[in-house]
Each structure stands twice: as structure tokens, then as C-alpha cells.
Amino acid sequence: MEIYELEKSEGGLPYNDSKGAFDLWELRNRNPKFGKFNRPNLWFPIYISSTSKDEMGYSLVSLKKDDEYSIEAWPLNSEMEQGCWRWGRDKIASSELTGKTPVLVGRQRRDGGWNVYEKSRKSTTKAKSTWFDTDVISEQGTLAIGLLGLEDKFDHPKPLGLIRRSLLVGSNSDGLILDFFAGSGTTAQVALELNKEDGGNRKFILVQLPEPTDLSDFKTIADVTKERVRRVIQRHEKDAEGKLKHGNQSKEGFRVLKLATSNFKIWNAATETTTADALAKQLELQIDHIQQERTSEDLLYEILLKAGFPPTTPIETLTVEGKTVYSVTGYGMLICLERQLTHETIKAIAERKPNHVVCLDEGFAGNDQLKTNAVLMMKSKGVTKFQTI
């Protein structure tokens, strides 16, 4: 199958390195309304290397002074008045400052002084209000979805060029892109292609109602959306000969979530509970408080969302003493939603010494002794929060 590549555009940027096109933006804030007098936290020296340079010949910079980084640069204007930087120390410290393509570089002025510049890869050219270019109004959308083997699955998909131009104008390389009318998934494909092209980390949220189709293999438009994203990712995981790349560790992926009512039965405060019988009925509903036909993954994502985690939080699925346990990567949180917990499973979870453990109350099957032992085991292993729901 022919590999369809997005048409590259340098966006009018004047310089190019191995990472792509860029412009040099002075890091000093040139607005006279801002300076040391009202932005004292943005007034500090940046040190420029006397020897180390990037591939373009620009000098590397650092926040720390030593024998190599000895040239001191302050945010002073042409009249030597105290200004301020556009970036704070934390942002500078977290940016890539070494290697072939650093984010910040130093350049010497004609008067012998030094300026610090940001290598900006975003064009400052304003988008035109009307686009007549053929790549944004042609049948390119139909061609692109056809090259993914999804021809005749969606009428009039948006051209890749149109969405590409929109994303370049309205977002940056690590932006979050929201498309409330996902359709065939053009937005996702462009975001993934741009990440592959410039090494960006764009994320996207697609929203699509499950509108029915007359297709036998895709019952809803949302099914077409999901399949297109899968095929784009699969294509990136293969080489030019269509074989899976050796040792492929693709970071591309997506999750599909459907809007639904809570997995847990909610106490109905509107129900009249002034009588003993009415109150008893409400309490009985809470004994088996999980909605029928809800899966462990349904419960998992509601728990994560209510705990403040985004739906893209990395999760590892473990098998602990024959039971499924979800590990929330980087947060020391283990979630076990099994309906039949055992002493061995609880002990094995506690021995992993997580910070937070969540289990279903139903999993203890009314065994108060098992629950009490679980609390004691968690405490003995340093678990700071043990929660049953």
C-alpha cells in the first residue's frame, strides 16, 4: 500500500536545523511595561558557554555559572535599563539546553554584548481569514482515508491539509486538541502525523456520537473513528516494507470511553424517606450498590476520574495471587476490583507497599475478620490509605 505523507511546510520560518524550521525570539521581554521593578522573579543572570555550541554554531546557555559557562547575560535593553526575561527559572531549568538542538541559545551582539534567544518553531504569521489553497479544499480527505483501507466508509471526510493548517495555527507541539465533531477521525490522524514529523507530544480528545450507519462492519460513525485511529498507529509501527519495526516501543495509543450513568447506585434524596418502610427500601438498594452488567474497567475509570486522575493516566494490569490488580503508574496506587478477595491476595498487595489501595467492599463478602486483617496488614506495610467502596 502506498504510504501517504502530509505535505511539509516550513511556515515561513527563516532558519533550519536537524529538528526543523525555527526563528530566533529574544528571551528578554521587550515590553517596557515589564521589568525588574514589577517582575523581580524574572530578573536573574543566564550564563553563556565560551566553548560549547549547537549544530548551528550558537552558544549553549545555563542557569549555573562555572569555568565554561562564564559569560553573564542580563535582560537589559539598549539603554541598559533593567528589564526581565519572558521565562522563569523553572521553565528554563526544565527545557533542553544541551545537544544539537537546544531550546535556548546565546548570540553575541555587534557591540560585544550577548543576547539569549529562544529557538521558536511556531510561525508568527497570522492566518488568512479565507483559505483557497487546494490542499485544504480538495478531495484530499477522501484520498487519505482510502489509503488507510477505509474507502466508502465515510462521506466527505475533512482534508488533512485543512486540519493540519488549523493545528499549526491554533496549537503548539505539546498542546491538547479537542474535536467535538470527530467524524472519521481526521484530527487524530493529523495530530499523530505531526508528532511523528516534529517529535511533538500533541494529545487529542475526540467526541463523536454513536450515530448509526448502513455499514455491516461499522455500526456507528464512532466505530469508523476508532478504526481509523488504530490503522494510523499500526502504520507508524511498521517499516517501509510493511513489517513490524524491530523492538518497536511505540508511545502512540488511545483510549475509548463512553458516557454513561454512574456505576454506583446513588442515594435518591428526592424519594420520600420519612417512613420506616421507605427508608428501609433506600438502604436495601445500597447493599448491592454496583449497577448490574458493569465491568471492572467501568468501575476503574470512574474511580480514577473521581480521584482526580485524567483518563489518559498510565495503568498497568497485574496478576496478584490469581486476581487482577490495576497499578496506577507513578502514583503508588493499586486498585483491586475482584468480587472474591482472599487473604493471600490482600497480603500480596500489601507487600508491594503502595501508598494507596482501593478494593470493593463486596470483595470481602461480609467477612469482617478478613477486612479487619486487611486493614492491619496494610498499616503494617506502610500503606497510608486503604479504601473500600
**What is the DSSP annotation of 8-38?**
P--TT-SEEETTEEEEEEESB---TT-STTT
Strands 385-388 and 356-359: parallel
Phi, psi (rounded to 5 degrees) for 86 = -80, -25
Average pLDDT over residues 321-349: 91
Rounded distance between C-alpha atoms, residue 46 and residue 61, angstroms: 7
Quote the pLDDT of residue 4.
Answer: 31
Residue 276 confidence (pLDDT):
73
- Please state, rounded to an integer, the average pLDDT across all residues of the chain: 86
Contact 73, 47 (CB under 8 A): yes
State how far the Cα of 272 lies from the Cα of 327, in Å rounded to an integer: 41
Between 161 and 251, the more confident residue is 161
For 45-79, how does the pLDDT look when each residue is reduced to its tens digit (9 = 90+)?
999 999 999 999 999 999 999 999 999 999 998 78
pLDDT of residue 353: 92
Average pLDDT over residues 111-140: 79
Query: Does the pLDDT of residue 24 top 60, yes or no?
Result: yes
Cell of 136: 485544504
Terminal-residue alpha carbon distance, the chain: 51
Task: Please give the grid coordinates belonging to residue 14.
Answer: 527563516
Name the packing angle between helices 186-198 and 221-236 (round to 10°): 20
The pLDDT assigned to 373 comes to 93
SS3 376: helix
Phi, psi of 190 (to 5 degrees): -65, -40
Q: Distance between CA 195 and CA 173 in Å, rounded?
A: 7
Residue 138 clears pLDDT 50, i.e. is over it: yes
CB 196, CB 190: distance < 8 Å: no
SS3 242: coil
Q: Are 211 and 184 in contact (CB under 8 A)?
A: no
Residue 119 · residue 125 · CB < 8 Å: no
**pLDDT band (50, 70, 90) for residue 10:** very low
pLDDT band of 3, cuts 50, 70, 90: very low
pLDDT for the residue 85: 96
Q: Which amino acid is at 183?
A: G
Q: Between 368-380 and 343-351, two packed helices, what is the crossing angle to 10 degrees?
A: 20
**Given a cut of 70, is residue 196 above it in pLDDT?**
yes
The pLDDT score that the predictor gives to residue 244 is: 64
Least confident of 131-140, 329-338, 363-372: 131-140
Percentage of the chain exceeding pLDDT 90: 53
Element spanning 234, H or E: helix 221-236
Cell of 333: 496506587
Decide: 116 and 73 in contact? Cβ < 8 Å: yes
Task: Summarize the confidence of residues 342-348 as an average pLDDT.
Answer: 94
- For residues 310-317, average pLDDT: 88
